Amino acid sequence: MHKRTFVRTLAQAGAAAAALCAGGIAFAQGTPFKIGLILPMTGQQATTGRQIEAAAKLWMAQNGDTVAGRKVELIIKDDTTLPDVTRRLAQELVVNEKVDVLAGMGITPSALAAGPIATQSKTPLVVMAAATSIITEASPYIVRTSFTLPQVSVSIADWAPKNGIKSVVTLVSDYGPGIDAEKYFSERLILDGGKVLDKLRVPLRNPDFAPFLQKVRDLKPDALFVFVPSGAGAAVMKQFGERGMDKAGIRLIGTGDVTDDDQLNDMGDVALGVVTSHHYSAAHPSAANKKFVEAFQKANKNMRPNFMAVGGYDGMRVIYEALKKTGGKGGGDALLAGMKGQIFESPRGPVYIDAQTRDIVQNVYLRKVERKDGQLWNVEFDVIKDVKDPGKSK
């Protein structure tokens, strides 16, 4: 290249850089605080995305979009329930949009895919939906506001032998949370004197429950323990009823994902009497929850919030509180420090973000499906307080 062109280009680049820096410094205080919310809005877990989006928007409607003098901007991206897309979107959000916080993560593979991006860019990642224990270990910048399967599975394993259930077959979806549920439920049940007759795993995509349920029918256990991701519960329930399993004396127990509030009312009478353990029921009798459910239904055409929505709602609270603690300045490490150790009252009950593990500590409730005012609800009848994730407790 000619020396003159070279010098000219260098000068132009230098001028541009100087202008940017000057502009950058001037804008630092006024730049909006960006939250990059990556959710499955289409694809298999689209109901999760819908619920969390509605909850996040509800939070911002109730609490405004300005925190400590800084405007908060919510950027929602659809990862179509594919972890490769999640990773790409996380990268784009961090590099192009320069988000201050990443959030969402509809399924475990998505959270694990985005983890390295959070670590490399020192951006806190608030996991609002995914539920496998190891997620918080995938990156030191991950904070979870959803739940973990081990947390909710051991509670029902303790309840079962005290209520006439000695032999169980487990049926789970074959991915992270499912395997966690199977492991912790079986171990606790065997510890309490029960027997696990068989452990069946159904593929995550395109699950066809009929042959597996037929196998359960032939094994004749006292109960069938089920874990399937949010949204697949209805299919299991229908097949359960169609095979006449309730009439054959097999009870259905599981984690609350199978009686997901989002679908519960449409499942019909076959769901009555099903006992599950979970961290949130839309029928939780606290004032905070009543307000939350009412506001949610009003803003979303009577759609009932489920545990995914509560994870999103609390995730937004964690982000807002952390931003307040840094006085509006933000910054990856400062925000992370602000998120750890938060204690607050969530619509689900009291919640604590453990400072060591960055995971959520919450109450786990035992609930039974009952009909109230013409609708089906998960009515809580027992509670185990402040359950730490057994998958990690050292």
Partner 1 sequence: MLTILFDGIAYGMLLFILAVGLAVTMGLMNFINLAHGAFAMVGGYITVLLMQRAGVPFIVCLPIAFVGTALLGAIAERTLYRPLYRRPHLDQVLFSIGLVLMSVAAVDYFVGSTQQILQLPDWLKGRTEIGEGAWTLGMGHYRLFIIAVCALVTVLLQWVLSRTRFGSRLRASVDDQRVAAGMGINVNVVFLSTFAVGSGLAGLGGALGSEVLGLDPTFPLKYMIYFLIVVAVGGTSSITGPLLAALLLGIADVAGKYYIPKMGAFIVYTLMIAILLWRPQGLFVRQGGKA
Question: Which value, to the nearest 10 degrees, does the dihedral of the CA atoms of residues 157, 232, 239, 247 take?
Answer: 30
Closest CB to partner 1 among 58 and 232? 232
Q: Is the Cβ–Cβ distance between 224 and 198 less than 8 Å?
A: no
Stretch that binds partner 1, among 26-34, 36-44, 330-338, 356-364 (CB under 8 A): 36-44
Question: 338 is written with which tokens?
Answer: 């602000």
- Is 184 in contact with 286 (CB distance < 8 Å)? no
Residue 242 lies near partner 1 (rule: CB under 8 A): yes
Torsion-angle region of 279 (φ positive above 0: left; ψ -120 to 50: alpha; else: beta): alpha
**Given the rule CB under 8 A, which of 55-63, 130-138, 195-203, 361-369 is the region that contacts partner 1?**
195-203
Q: Which of 35, 39, 44, 104 binds partner 1 (CB under 8 A)?
A: 44
CB atoms inside a 10 Å sphere around CB 338: 22
* Among 65, 84, 97, 266, contact with partner 1 (rule: CB under 8 A): 266
Q: How far is the CB of 307 from partner 1 (least distance, A)?
A: 16
Under the binding rule (CB under 8 A), the answer on residue 264 touching partner 1 is: no
57 binds partner 1 (CB under 8 A): no
Task: Find the part of the chain contacting partner 1 (CB under 8 A) among 40-48, 57-65, 116-124, 176-184.
Answer: 40-48
Question: How many residues belong to the site for partner 1 (CB under 8 A)?
Answer: 34
CB nearer partner 1, residue 50 or residue 70: 50
Residue 356 CB burial class (10 angstroms; 0-12, 13-18, ≥19): exposed
State the DSSP H helix or E strand holding residue 359, giving kind and residue range, or none if neither. Answer: none
Least separation in angstroms between CB 34 and partner 1: 26
Q: Is 341 in the site for partner 1 (CB under 8 A)?
A: no
Q: How far is the CB of 154 from partner 1 (least distance, A)?
A: 25
User: According to CB under 8 A, which one of 65, 84, 208, 333 is a site residue for partner 1?
Assistant: 208
Cβ atoms 19, 11 nearer than 8 A: no
- Distances in Å between the Cα of 60 and the Cα atoms of 53, 55, 290, 292 are 11, 9, 18, 13
CB of residue 200 vs partner 1: minimum separation in angstroms? Answer: 6
CB 266 within 8 A of CB 368: no
Q: Which is nearer to partner 1, 164 or 211 (CB)?
A: 211
Spatial CA neighbour of 124 closest among 351, 388, 334: 334
The answer to whether 314 and 280 are in contact (CB under 8 A) is no
Q: Is 206 in the site for partner 1 (CB under 8 A)?
A: yes
84 binds partner 1 (CB under 8 A): no
Give just the sign of the alpha carbon dihedral 66, 68, 70, 74: negative
Q: Which of 14, 24, 203, 249 binds partner 1 (CB under 8 A)?
A: 203
Q: How is residue 128 annotated by DSSP?
A: S
Strand partners, 368: 275, 379
Per CB under 8 A, the list member of 7, 11, 191, 215 interacting with partner 1 is 215
**Quick check: 42 binds partner 1 (CB under 8 A)?**
yes
Q: Is 267 a binder of partner 1 (CB under 8 A)? A: yes
Using CB under 8 A as the criterion, which residues of the chain lie in contact with partner 1 when the complex forms? 41-44, 46-47, 50, 200-203, 205-206, 208, 210-212, 214-215, 217, 231-232, 234-235, 238, 241-244, 262-263, 266-268
